[in-house]
Chains A and B, each alone.
Chain A
Amino acid sequence: MNRVANNFFELSALSEPALMPFVCGGFPRPGATAQLLPALERAGAKFVEVGIPFSDPVADGPVIAAAMHEALQNGATPASVFDEVRSIREQSRLAIIAMVSYSIVHRMGGPAAFCTKAKEAGFDGLIVPDIPFDESTELQAECKKLDLSLSLLIAPTTLVDRAIAIAKACTGFVYLLARTGITGESGGMPEVASRVQRLKEHTDLPIAVGFGISTPEHVKAVVSQGADAAIVGSALVRRMRDALANRRDPIAEAESFTRELSRGLVHVG
């Protein structure tokens, strides 16, 4: 069984929602990802999203975009991020999901070639934030062939029928955007209950909610609104940067912040 499906299955048996931390591959330094993944696992995470750094991430706000630019400047490439994941794959039960721009997928030979390389590196699934459902047929087919999960995005601007069609094309989990706009920390409480409920009438897949989820309170809000997982990116990346600026260990900081966020995970059963 694919690890994404397996880990969600194990949690659902316990009626437990999940936390899905996002980290930027190759940030804050080369080699950091191979240390971060075990640290996040120690903190209780069952899933991690690893962003493949891209020069022009239009769905990302300043925190993640800057992390990507730094990683690239420090020499990170998709190949180097794959290597870091590969180096810890054997010893980890994490479901590791690549968040990757279609620009990279295309340039690395298209869906078939890219998916093969990602699978071989030890990734369990893909999120491609800048491809809409309509352009994703080939990607869907390749992911299915290689047993990689593929989570397509559903936005607040997505019309209902379309959202249902997208959910049906997903495997592993559905990625529901908490808000219109780019990634970044947010002050307001996420409001996703009605959209989660509606989707649940049409799909049995777990629903993960992301964009703007920044605090344990936000995590608690989305899971109590019915989401199966909360995705936290910018808040985590910023904490690592702050730690670095204050000469603290960014890896330890990520671990402790992930524990803190996990307190927002309440039983939903």
Chain B
Amino acid sequence: MSAAGTPQPNSPQASGPDSGAVSGSQSHAPTAPANQPPRGNPLQSQQPNSNQPNHNQQRRPGPSSGGPNYGPGNGPSNGPGPGPNGARRDGGRDDRRDDRRPGPPTMEAARSRRSDPRDLIPAKPKPPKLSDVPDANGRFGKFGGRYVPETLYSALDQLRATYDEVSSDPRFWDDLSDLLRSFVGRSTPLYPAQRLTAFARSRSQTGEAATIWLKREDLAHTGAHKINNTLGQALLTRRMGKKRIIAETGAGQHGVASATAAAHFGFECDVYMGAEDVRRQKLNVTRMKLLGARVIEVESGSKTLKDATNEAMRDWMGSVEHTHYIIGSVVGPDPFPRIVRDFQSIIGRETKSQCLRLLNGLPAAVVACVGGGSNAAGIFYDFVDDTNVQLIGVEAGGRGNVPGGHAASLSAGSPGVLHGSLSYVLQDQFGQTADVHSCSAGLDYPGVGPEHSYWKDAGRVRYTAVTDDQALDAFTLLASTEGIIPALETSHALAEAVELAQKLPKDKHIVVCLSGRGDKDVDEASRLLALRSNKSR
């Protein structure tokens, strides 16, 4: 570990999560969340609750810093933002990585890298990295691009220009960092799930299983990772001088996060949501309305996420001059996939430095559920170039591999164009989008972000699918073993992680992105569990 990665003496939490670490001693586990600053307390923002006030100045050099990095929850050292300070095995050269990292600017970073005199020394050109995407045309390999009506083109250009501009403006990232700390409660803890791990061990043929760690995005304000993206895009909205935002939502988490950002910034907010999702995610509909948003129920097609996205795009076609469309995942036309990934990549940066601190190394595997793919891209991105870390994306297997019975775009789809980019899509031979199904509204989508398609074809990420039944089992399992009710989306990742843990020796570690909490799902999950027990009776 580099110096920056060692615990800071001035941190009140320094001895907490940092101390027990490696295989996750029982004692420190509960302290991590408890050490969080009170979420949503604006007063916190000005306080040195980051437990590393001095870092504040150093850690965000302009464009390179992508976001907040301190980890009130898990000790100070988890790092300076973008560049997983202290996290790298290349120790002293962290700042170089910073150039390329944090979220923002691929182009900018390339430019500033070029001007770094240290780069003049090694004559050998570096091989291109898998993380160096998209290109200037918004392409992740052959995927991505901008397949939209001309009407939207100028808005995409404006968004791209604004984003490129803020990429080199430290104030933007400072503002975002402050919000993520004081309003969202970042960083989120990395929590060792002891009893879940014990369950996996009890099931394992060898009696062994890897330790399962949970990256607690459910503890972020509003209860899911979606807020990381909406606050970033709301800041962009303000820069562009727009006063209204629209959003699509499936599970309602992105809708709630958008409505929350709108309330915070004083924007008008309309959220499109399929009628079927309005039914099964009622709690979030109520929350959005309380937050001052208008929820527009979409009755067309399958009345789920794809149809809500169509309606949001149609709204934008007519409102584009004064409205920003906050897309909720790493999907859509360029530059959305890159922007959303960058804003979500805080998850992976924190995870990595937490792992280096708590595990003294990188995990064997990182597992995340994939709807559009934003929580997965967010946690994977910082590990993409660490090829010894297995990355596993878990799609919705629904009722199994029958047409219309699942939403496993990467596992069962083919390259196609949907909602503005080329990516894997579930479609027929003529490019008509297929019907999909998942018990989880947030995964019930026939497309996926183009970067995932790129990672799939590059063989970097393994994509698999988990059925409704397996997800429901994981939902109840986590609740009863750990006292955490996960979102149904997240339950897919948990189901896979419990299986995977059993195939790994006990000195290995798996990190699961616990993308959201399950309050929104308690009614629907109870209904599905009751249906299931009636059937088996």
Q: Do A and B interact?
A: yes
Chain A residues proximal to chain B, CB less than 8 Å:
54-56, 58-62, 65-66, 69, 72, 77-79, 101-108, 129-135, 152-159, 162, 166, 177, 179-182
Residue pair A132, B433 in contact (C-beta under 8 Å): no
Residue pair B431, A157 in contact (C-beta under 8 Å): no
Determine how close the nearest CB of chain A comes to the CB of B244; give it in whole angstroms.
Answer: 14
Chain A residues with Cβ below 8 Å from B147 are 102-103, 130-132, 135
Task: Determine if B286 is an interface residue (Cβ-Cβ < 8 Å).
Answer: no
A241 to B309, CA, bound (A): 26
Residue pair B300, A103 in contact (C-beta under 8 Å): no
Q: State whether A155 and B432 are in contact (beta carbons under 8 Å apart), knowing that A135-B145, A181-B317 are contacts in the complex.
A: no
Q: Which residue among B301, B317, B416 has the maximum number of chain A CB atoms within 10 Å of its CB?
A: B317
Residue pair B300, A182 in contact (C-beta under 8 Å): no
Chain A residues with Cβ below 8 Å from B427 are 103, 107
A237 to B429, CA, bound (A): 27
Residue pair A72, B317 in contact (C-beta under 8 Å): no
A57 to B415, CA, bound (A): 18
B132-171 to A contact mask, C-beta < 8 Å, 1/0: 0000010000000111111111110000000000000000
Partner of B317, one of A56, A62, A182: A182
A166 to B151, CA, bound (A): 13
Chain A residues with Cβ below 8 Å from B266 are none
Task: Determine if B324 is an interface residue (Cβ-Cβ < 8 Å).
Answer: no
Task: Determine if B271 is an interface residue (Cβ-Cβ < 8 Å).
Answer: no
A61 to B310, CA, bound (A): 10
Residue pair B418, A103 in contact (C-beta under 8 Å): yes
Q: Which of B300-316 contact A (CB under 8 A)?
A: 300-301, 306, 310, 313-314
Residue pair B317, A180 in contact (C-beta under 8 Å): yes
Closest to A159 in B: B154
Q: State whether A155 and B151 are in contact (beta carbons under 8 Å apart), knowing that A134-B146, A135-B145, A181-B317 are contacts in the complex.
A: yes
A223 to B249, CA, bound (A): 42
Chain B residues proximal to chain A, CB less than 8 Å:
137, 145-155, 300-301, 306, 310, 313-314, 317-318, 320-321, 414-419, 422, 427, 429-433
What are 19 inter-chain pairs, A to B, with CB distance below 8 A? A55-B432, A56-B433, A59-B149, A62-B300, A105-B431, A106-B431, A107-B416, A107-B430, A107-B431, A129-B149, A131-B147, A135-B145, A135-B146, A155-B153, A180-B151, A180-B317, A180-B320, A181-B151, A182-B314
Chain B residues with Cβ below 8 Å from A162 are 153
Chain B residues with Cβ below 8 Å from A103 are 147, 416-418, 427, 431, 433
Interface residues of B, dominant DSSP:
mixed
Partner of A72, one of B314, B429, B432: B432
Determine how close the nearest CB of chain A comes to the CB of B104; give it in whole angstroms.
Answer: 23
Residue pair A65, B146 in contact (C-beta under 8 Å): no
A43 to B422, CA, bound (A): 41
Determine how close the nearest CB of chain A comes to the CB of B299; give it in whole angstroms.
Answer: 10
Partner of A158, one of B150, B301, B314: B150
Chain B residues with Cβ below 8 Å from A182 are 314, 317-318
A10 to B496, CA, bound (A): 67
Q: State whether A157 and B432 are in contact (beta carbons under 8 Å apart), knowing that A130-B148, A135-B146 are contacts in the complex.
A: no
A134 to B148, CA, bound (A): 11
Q: State whether A177 and B301 are in contact (beta carbons under 8 Å apart), knowing that A56-B433, A103-B418 are contacts in the complex.
A: no
Partner of A155, one of B149, B314, B414: B149
Residue pair B418, A56 in contact (C-beta under 8 Å): yes
A66 to B310, CA, bound (A): 13
A56 to B430, CA, bound (A): 13
A134 to B153, CA, bound (A): 10
A130 to B429, CA, bound (A): 19
Chain B residues with Cβ below 8 Å from A102 are 147, 417
Residue pair A58, B419 in contact (C-beta under 8 Å): yes
Chain B residues with Cβ below 8 Å from A135 are 145-147
A166 to B295, CA, bound (A): 37
A162 to B321, CA, bound (A): 17
Residue pair B150, A153 in contact (C-beta under 8 Å): yes
Chain B residues with Cβ below 8 Å from A55 are 301, 432-433
Residue pair B431, A181 in contact (C-beta under 8 Å): no
Closest to A163 in B: B150
A-B complex: 6 closest residue pairs judged by Cβ atoms: A107-B431, A181-B318, A155-B151, A103-B417, A104-B431, A153-B150
Chain A residues with Cβ below 8 Å from B300 are 62, 65-66, 69
Chain A residues with Cβ below 8 Å from B149 are 58-59, 129-130, 132, 153, 155
A158 to B321, CA, bound (A): 11
Chain B residues with Cβ below 8 Å from A106 are 415-417, 422, 431
A177 to B318, CA, bound (A): 12
In addition to A58-B317, A62-B300, A155-B149, 20 A-B residue pairs with Cβ atoms within 8 Å of each other are: A56-B306, A58-B148, A59-B314, A101-B417, A103-B431, A104-B432, A107-B431, A130-B148, A132-B146, A132-B147, A132-B153, A135-B147, A152-B150, A153-B149, A154-B150, A162-B153, A180-B317, A181-B151, A181-B318, A182-B318
A43 to B314, CA, bound (A): 32
Partner of B432, one of A54, A66, A130, A154: A54
Chain A residues with Cβ below 8 Å from B318 are 179-182
Partner of B150, one of A58, A61, A155, A179: A155
Q: State whether A79 and B431 are in contact (beta carbons under 8 Å apart), knowing that A132-B146, A135-B147, A157-B321 are contacts in the complex.
A: no
Determine how close the nearest CB of chain B comes to the CB of A36; give it in whole angstroms.
Answer: 21
Residue pair A108, B153 in contact (C-beta under 8 Å): no
Chain B residues with Cβ below 8 Å from A154 are 150
